[in-house]
Amino acid sequence: MREEPEKQPRDQGKNIGRTIDRLRRPRGRRRLSPSRLVFWLAAGLALAAVVLLVHYALQASSLRRQLEELRQIALPATPPESLTDLENAAAGDDADERAGDTLAAGPSGLSTAPPPAPPTRDFGALRGRNADIAAWLRYPGIRDIDLPVVQRDNVFYMTHDYLGRENVSGSVFADQRNSFSPRDGNIVLYGHNMKNGTMFGKLYRLSENGLLGEEPFFTLETPESSELYVPYAIALVDDATDHPRYFPIATLNYRSDAELLTYAGRLRSFSDLQFPVAVESRDRLLTLVTCHGESDSERLVVALRALRPGEDAEALREAMRRAF
């Protein structure tokens, strides 16, 4: 006899058919509820913020170690002169008044005097680490302003440290058009206004009561010389040409004595602090520039001029002490 195939129960056949249909149908994705979506977005943003903060902190720490290393490298074999020694070197024996127009009143006491003091930094060793190091800026009243000054172009060192590594703090750098030797009439230095206090992040403190009265002098050193500078204005200006406080900061040389005096006079007019410092047509200027405020075009400018040969530094220090 021929065996007949075993018959499956009708209900079991239907179940198998439904299973096959489900397998053939594409599975739909589970949708996140709006609340879950918001949660995961917030978590992702928080994680990204933590990563950025850690990265920022690591870069700041790396930069501080780098600066300390460069400060040690820059020390010469003999101890550097004190600021008082530089003041004495700037002062001459005789008091002879120099010809030249004067802007504003202030101690001058000029004489024929010795050449500028020699540098106290080992620029050979510094340039062994980075050939772009052109100068050194120091202000004893703010510990963090003890910095090399580099010069290449006006872009690279906005995002790179003193050894050429990427760093959000950047470096303090001289305007690419500036010449240190022979020296331009106005050396312009740029630095970021960093919240961690590096670069020019503490320049705003110069407006605090008493700081400039206690310590009025900056030092700028180059491979050729070391000079003292004193502020004559601290001003908020703007890069936007249509702004009422627009000011062309990067004026490096002057076609006439009147042009220099106009430059200094306009910065004085924008300054909230009034300085007992005269500015003359033959003065050597130094201008420090950093970002300030919420506007991308607003700048904080600290404008300084060099102590003149034979100038009485102690009289100038006392005048600053009385003013601030």
pLDDT tier for residue 51 given thresholds of 50, 70 and 90: low
Structural domains in the chain, CATH included, are 48-323 (2.40.260.10)
Q: What is the pLDDT at residue 208? A: 82
Upstream peptide bond of 182 is cis (omega within 30 degrees of 0):
yes
Nearest-Å Rg of the Cα atoms of the chain is 32
CB crowding 99-120: b at 16 or more within 10 Å, else e: eeeebbebbbbbbebeebbebb
- The model's pLDDT over 64-100, given as tens digits with 9 standing for 90+, comes to 899 999 999 998 755 445 555 555 555 544 334 333 4
Across the range 163-178, mean pLDDT stands at 96
Nearest to 21 by CA among 29, 30, 13, 31: 13
- Pairing verdict, β 226-238 and 146-150: unpaired
Residue type, 247: F
Interatomic CA distance for residues 37 and 3, integer angstroms: 62
Interatomic CA distance for residues 145 and 197, integer angstroms: 9
Q: What is the pLDDT at residue 98? A: 39
Top pLDDT among 111 and 261 is at: 261
pLDDT tier for residue 35 given thresholds of 50, 70 and 90: confident
Top pLDDT among 93 and 238 is at: 238
CA dihedral 266, 271, 274, 276 (to 10 degrees): -50
Top pLDDT among 12 and 171 is at: 171
